[in-house]
Structure 1
Amino acid sequence: MDDVRDTGGKHAPDGNDPGGEPGRRDRGRRAGRGVGRPGRGRALVWAGVLLVAGVSAVGALGLGGGDADTGGADQGRSSQVVRVSRGTLTDQTEIDGQLGHGPQVPFQIRAEGTVTWLPESDATLRRGDAVLRVNDRPVVLLYGSLPMYRDLTLSGPADPADGSDGRPDDGADDGKGSEDGEGSDSGAEGSDGTGSEAAADTAGAGSQREAAVSGMDVRQFETNLSALGYSGFTVDDEYTALTADAVRRWQEDLGLPETGEVGIGDVVYAPGPVRIATTGVRVGADASGEPVSYTSTSRMVTVEAPAADTDWARRGTEVTVELPGGHTVQGEVARVGKEASAPEGPGGAEGGGEGGAAQTATVSVLITFADQQSLGRLESGPVTVRYVVGERKDVLTVPVSALVALAEGGHGLELVEGDSEGPGRFLPVRTGLFANGQVEVSGPGVREGMKVRIPK
């Protein structure tokens, strides 16, 4: 035994000894075959693992693969499996907006005098209500699109074609008739009826010269008068004596002198009921100008959209509005501004930099709601508006994180076949719309329900 330890396997005292050189040499060759092959096998296995891990890492780095469960048999591969699903893929974009009552519009007050009463802010005014009082006379709200641009009376200005002032001739001249007696002659001639006929003709000519007030503004006013409950006249384009009678009854109810005439400053028009937004003057100030402004009574959202990105903002486009608190309601684009404006400050109208104002210019977009009750009690506040920029119906989709970048280019999916936890084959796919963490996929062999692995 000592000889064996001393030789270290190089020498043996007896070639027939089982521990001799021939036996050791043979075991060494067998040992060499047994050790060498397992070493090469382990190297190949680790190379395969690194290759799979590298492909998965490329897919994750290039496409934002999310966190995955690491409970798989192979470290570096994910056990998270998803199915290819079919449905509608919608891509939405968000933009900030402001809930309120829309833009403010000033009343054009034509009454002259001192403001003696003003309405409260947020008050709702309807047809027949006073917008304010001037010299203690109400300026009444009526509905319509035409402004009050003239007085409404039984007769208008004279016809300038005949050079008359519109007043009937009273028979007076320059005074010469009384001096030379022509006046008495006229009286004598009148005894046979000729003078009476001449006077009648003169009066008739004067009446014809008085033009009746008529037009669309008359029809608009008479429509309102009728809607307020006053009758006895025909709603048309002509201001008649019957219209004046109804106006007198209306003036009596308002506590005004019963003149039968409507002055240019007695009424103002708006499209419908209004909400008082602001009052620009105090009681005691002069009434001229724009002392009161109003808004719509309905709530709406105003969006200042980038002027270069308003393709979505078309009248009738449906949008989703998220209110403070997370509640969402459906709205519709009602109006898109035609003028772009740049915000003040750096990069805006006051900012420096070439092209800064043009790049930051915005256009106002107004969004209305058919169901005002869906807004709850909220009157104003910041909101988020979402609109659709792309939509694909009845398409196959997978999570974006399931995509793998293929070595030959493009993208693929790692199929999970059966219950196998080992590496699957990669199926090339074509990608379509990306939205909400999902992607549209298509290609030969891609079908609904197939299982694919999400790389780690």
Structure 2
Amino acid sequence: MSTTDEPDSTETDTAERHQQSPRRRGRRGIGVAIFTLLVAAVAVGGLWILTGAGNNAAVGAADKTPSATEAVQQGDLAGSTTVTGTLRYADRRSIQSATGGTITALPAEGAVISLGGRLYSVNNIPIFLLRGGLPAWRSFESGMDNGPDVKQLEESLRDLGHFSDEPDERFTWATVEAVKAWQDANGLDDTGTLPLGSFVFSSSDLRIGTVTVKVGDLVGAGTGLFDASSTTQIIETNIPLAEQQLAVIGAAVNVHLPGGATTTGVIESVGTPTEVDGATGQKQTMIPAVVALTDATATAAFQEAAVSVDVPSERRENVLSVPVGAILALTEDEFGVEVEYPDGTTTQVPVTLGLFAGGRVEVFGDGIEAGTLVVVPRR
């Protein structure tokens, strides 16, 4: 095309663009916010900021920025909100001495104590771990009242190979014989009774945390000896009250671990709103949530760590999307993409933006369909 006696290029190009794709109205109210969001995307996606010179400016920008093309995709687009959380072991508790005396044995920090294992010793008398969700509150002996704790004891003795009857809530002759057999196997006097304080009930194996006393210390009943937890890791997080719709039991989440590794999990429980100290020191109302990990091996290297959790938020199904880097800022409140045709020519096409998610953005525009090639900066 000859450039002599040509009308002002800015006016001509602007007019041509408006003829090809009339500007959409009613977007000025959100234009500034979207523009700010897109400018922020420069750091991660290579957004093209074009101003004032229409298609000629687009050609100039493209000449300076190595580019490639990518097809418009059609499919589901899911957004997420990122919250912070803490990876730690679940069911933390403090193990206290049930009797007074001298500590003669302690577990090592990080050790795992299983059913029938020795937790610690006072006056050279070992305290054992038995299985059950109810805490111990009384001794076990002939003539005692029936109760669910008796069933817990019999289930533990059965799993240890010393009780062959069906566990129930009655402390019978068969229970006495099973207790004697277990005591004999552990080098104890086979009395058939278990004094309160000689055992600890736990619904799972115990992982030993921080030990706060030393062998040889004289302790009283109720003295804290060490922290313990289950062997299962969880993530505890807080979701802002304003986004409480995200706190959905069963929702799948992505977890970002220290060092850049990622794994997945599921929200398994949601608490009631509570006030916590915010980053600025002001109180914030948050909803506590617990995330169960889907792959326990992914976090095995961590005892406790700060993590971030991507909680699913808005979702669009069967929509068109392009990489964020493909978006052109045509004006302060008009955006577009540069479409490449089979003959290698390109033109700017105004688009309306929808959901941003995973480095992509939902787009609407005349002539935009699945498979349309759009220009993106080459990384």
User: 1:285 aligned to 218, 221, 246, which one?
Assistant: 218
Determine if contact 2:254/2:262 at 8 Å carries over to the other structure: yes
| 2:140 aligned partner | 152
Q: Does 1:314 align with 2:314?
A: no
Per-residue deviation, 1:68? 7.4
Per-residue deviation at 1:90? 2.3
In the alignment, is residue 139 of structure 1 matched against residue 127 of structure 2? yes
Match for residue 185 of structure 2 among 231, 253, 260: 253
- 1:441 is displaced (CA, Å) by 2.4
User: 1:273 is matched with which residue: 180, 192, 205?
Assistant: 205
* Match 2:327 to one of 394, 402, 421: 402
Q: 1:417 to 1:227 in 2, by over 3 A?
A: closer
Q: CA deviation at 1:144?
A: 0.7
The answer as to 2:315 corresponding to 1:391 is yes
Counterpart amino acid of residue 450 in structure 1: T
1:104 pairs with 2:92: yes
Q: Determine the structure 2 residue equivalent to 1:303.
A: 237
Aligned: 1:243 with 2:231: no
How far off its partner does 1:226 sit? 1.3
CA positional deviation for 1:224: 0.7
What is the aligned partner in structure 2 of residue 438 from structure 1? 360
1:117 matched residue in structure 2: 105
Aligned residue in 2 for 1:167: none
CA displacement at 1:220 relative to structure 2: 1.1
Structure 1 residues 416, 260: closer, same or farther in 2, change over 3 A?
Answer: closer
CA distance in 2, matches of 1:331, 1:244: 45
Do the aligned partners of 2:140 and 2:193 also contact (CA within 8 Å) in 1?
Answer: yes
Cα distance change, pair 132–430 in 1 and its aligned pair in 2 (3 A): same
Q: Identity across aligned pairs (percent)?
A: 28
- Give the alignment partner of residue 48 of structure 1, picking from 12, 30, 36: 12
SS at match of 1:119: coil
- Structure 1 length as normaliser, TM-score? 0.64
Aligned to 1:382: 306
TM-score in terms of structure 2 length: 0.75
Asked whether the 8 Å contact 1:406–1:412 carries over to 2, the reply is no
Structure number with higher strand proportion: 2
Structure 2 residue ranges without an equivalent (≥5): 24-30
Sort the Cα spacing of 1:219 and 1:419 in 2 relative to 1 into closer, same or farther, 3 A: same
Would the aligned equivalents of 1:219 and 1:238 in 2 still touch at CA under 8 Å? yes
- Deviation sequence 1:225-284 (CA, Å, 0-9, x none): 111111365522111122112212222233333321122212111111110112233332
Residues 126 and 273 of structure 1 are in contact (CA less than 8 Å); yes or no, is this contact kept in structure 2? yes
Against the structure 1 CA distance between its residues 273 and 419, is the aligned structure 2 distance closer, same or farther, given a 3 Å change threshold? same
Deviation track 1:3-61 (CA, whole Å, cap 9, x = no partner) reads xxxxxxxxxxxxxxxxxxxxxxxxxxxxxxxxxxx99x345346435878999xx9996
Alpha-carbon distance between aligned partners in 2 of 1:294 and 1:313, rounded to the nearest angstrom: 28
**CA separation of 1:239/1:327 partners in 2, compared to 1, >3 Å: closer, same or farther?**
same
Equivalence for 1:6: none
On the 8 A contact 1:141/1:269 being kept in 2, the answer is yes
CA distance in 2, matches of 1:451, 1:242: 79
Offset at residue 432 of structure 1 (A): 2.5
Q: Based on CA coordinates, which of the two structures has the bigger radius of gyration?
A: 1
- Given residue 257 of structure 1, which amino acid in structure 2 is its aligned partner? D
Query: How far apart, CA to CA, are the structure 1 residues paired with 2:207 and 2:320?
Result: 51
In 1, Cα distance between equivalents of 2:14 and 2:365? 28
Aligned residues: 344
Relative distance call for 1:404 and 1:307 in structure 2 (3 A) is closer
- Are the equivalent residues in 2 in contact too, given 1:102–1:366 (CA < 8 A)? no
Contact 1:134 1:287 in 2 (8 A): no
| Helix, strand or coil at the partner of 1:390 | strand
What is the SS of the residue equivalent to 1:133? strand
Residue 321 of structure 2: SS of its match in structure 1?
strand
User: For 2:13 and 2:273, how far apart are their aligned partners in 1?
Assistant: 62
SS of aligned partner of 1:342: strand
TM alignment of 1:88-237, pairs within 5 A: 88-102=76-90, 104-107=92-95, 109-156=97-144, 213-231=145-163, 233-237=165-169
Question: 2: distance between equivalents of 1:380 and 1:266?
Answer: 31
Q: What is the one-letter code of the residue matched to 2:8?
A: L
Change (3 A) 1:248 1:320: same
Selected match of 1:449 from 363, 371, 379:
371
CA contact (8 A) 1:89 1:395 kept: yes
Contact in 2 for aligned 1:218/1:236 (Cα 8 Å): yes
